[in-house]
Amino acid sequence: MRTQNLLKISWKAIVLNKMRTFLTMLGIIIGVASVIAMLAIGEGSKESIKTQISSMGSNMITIKPGSDVRGGVRLERSAMETLTLNDYEAIKKETTLLTSFSPMVNSGGQSIYGANNWPTSVYGVAPDYLKIKIWDLAEGSNFTEKEVSSAAKVAVIGQTVAENLFEEGVSLIGKMIRFNSIPLKIIGVLESKGESTGGQDQDDVILAPYTTVQKRILAITHLESIVVSSVSEEEAPNAVIEITALLRKNHKLTTNVEDDFHVISMEEMIKTFSSTSEMLTVLLVAIASISLLVGGIGIMNIMYVSVKERTREIGLRMAVGGQGSDILLQFLIEAMLISITGGLIGVSLGLGATLFIENVLHWPTSVTSSSIIISFVVCAITGIFFGWYPAKKASSLDPITALRYE
């Protein structure tokens, strides 16, 4: 038999049993739709994470005191005071792969204006901080190195703080607020940045000179962290090595002594978040793939039934010269048609589900061509794998016995 005739025979057999064929396809349809939707959510979340981290400053490197301890172990106070202004100055003067520098200290407390107050955090930073974080001003100006040197009581506030302390439409430049008991003059208002990858409101912040926060609010001399920006994203790993070597030398750490600081680049954060997202995506796809397995078993089951029902037809085909290979191919084509048709419907349903998730639930999604191609390949393999045994059984029937079958 020619392949064209086999296709016609297989399609006719499917059309004659529409409801049964649809119910057989259902597992494939749900499986493919689920896989596409889950992969779209996974890819969308990875892209969203990368975008959000990049918006924080893709070249940003953070240096924190204490060794890189994981698992929530509480460090001694002395271990958290290992970064100093001398370290900051050394990094600023002696590194070659960095462009912007800022020490950082912070404190939580109440911001107050008139009868309004709002719990927030004040961050003591250098003027370069806005460059490192790629953060623009909506109004006013940033503080200067001169104001840092004099520990001036000036501040740049975020949109959340502005909205909670002041009425809309009022110019904030020159207004005096208090952070706890310290008066601060507003000289700038930051553009809105939204939530970070951890769900923290980045606009709920007050920025002030680090000297002001150190001397007037915290009464400390050490730094809680140092943030810097590498010359390029590609040079970030080399910049981390350069910083590590410089700080080890400054802290007089011998070879067998571990670092009393840790350096984190945005590249590491992206890898960490992306690997977590990939693990969740694999888990979701594995769960969704169970539907494909159930659908494949359904195809095998229905093909067994079909072979039983058409035993006499098979015998007749063999009696008039049909080869076992023709019978095998006919039932394989039938199984593949069921599987691939189910896959086509599943892809359409999966794309529809993705649009619903993005537009109604407002979750980030990203459909890739590879997920659709993989779905089709899986559908074809499912049809062949689960259709092979029933087809082989049909092709090995004895013509005489098949013709006598009731």
Tell me the pTM: 0.62
Provide the pLDDT for residue 247: 93
Closest CA to 165 of 148, 181, 149, 177: 177
Closest CA to 335 of 309, 310, 298: 298
Closest CA to 174 of 139, 209, 128, 200: 139
Whole-angstrom distance, CA of residue 394 vs CA of residue 327? 7
Provide the pLDDT for residue 74: 46
Reported as a pLDDT band with limits 50, 70 and 90, residue 227 is very high
Give percent above pLDDT 90 in the chain. Answer: 34
Reported as a pLDDT band with limits 50, 70 and 90, residue 402 is low
Whole-angstrom distance, CA of residue 296 vs CA of residue 387? 8
Give the pLDDT confidence of 53-66 residue by residue, as tens digits.
666 666 889 999 98
Reported as a pLDDT band with limits 50, 70 and 90, residue 272 is low
- Tokens 């593949």 label which residue? 336
| Strand 225-230 with 182-190, pairing | unpaired
Element (H, E) at 106: strand 98-113
Provide the pLDDT for residue 273: 65
* CB contact set of 300 (below 8 Å; sequence gap of 6+): 386, 387, 389, 390
| Strand 225-230 with 60-65, pairing | antiparallel
Residue 61's DSSP bridge partners are: 228, 265
Most confident of 15-29, 140-154, 322-336: 140-154
Element (H, E) at 337: helix 324-359
Provide the pLDDT for residue 34: 83
CB 185 within 8 A of CB 174: yes
Q: What is the mean pLDDT of residues 213-240?
A: 90
- Its sign, for the CA torsion 246, 251, 256, 257, is negative
Whole-angstrom distance, CA of residue 110 vs CA of residue 206? 11
* CB contact set of 265 (below 8 Å; sequence gap of 6+): 60, 61, 62, 230, 236, 237, 239, 240
* CB contact set of 222 (below 8 Å; sequence gap of 6+): 65, 81, 82, 83, 84
